[in-house]
Structure 1
C-alpha cells in the first residue's frame, strides 16, 4: 500500500471501485485490476481495524485491571 494511505482514503477508494463495478462503468479489460485493488484495500482496512482494536484493548486494560482479568 502506498505511503500516507489512511483508512478513510482506502475506504473511499474501495467505495468508488464498488460503485464503478455495480454501475458497470468499468470495462471487462480493467475489471481484474479493479478487483485486485479492491482486495488490497480490504486487507489494508482490516489490518487498520485490527490494529486499532488491539490498541484500544491495551489502553482499556491498562486503565481498568478488572477488565484485563476477564
Structure 2
C-alpha cells in the first residue's frame, strides 16, 4: 500500500471502484485487478480505523 495514501483517499478510491463495478464500467479482464485493489483498500481502512480508535482510547484514558 502506498505510504502516502490517506484514509480519505483510500475510501474515495474504494468508492470509485465500487461505483465502476456497479455501473458495469469494469471489464471482465479488469475485474480481478479491481477486486484485489479494493481488498487492499479495505484492509488499509480497517487498520487505520482500528489504530485511530486505539489512540483515541489511550488519550481518553490518560484524561480520566
TM-score (norm 2): 0.98
1:13 is the counterpart of 2:27: no
In 2, the alpha carbon distance for the partners of 1:3 and 1:35 equals 20
Match of 1:51 in 2: 51
Q: Which has the larger radius of gyration?
A: 1
Can you give the 5+ residue segments of structure 2 that lack an aligned partner in the other structure? none
TM-score (norm 1): 0.90
Superposed CA RMSD: 0.4
Following superposition, which runs of at least 4 residues in structure 1 exceed 3 angstroms of deviation? Answer: none
The alignment covers a number of residue pairs equal to: 64
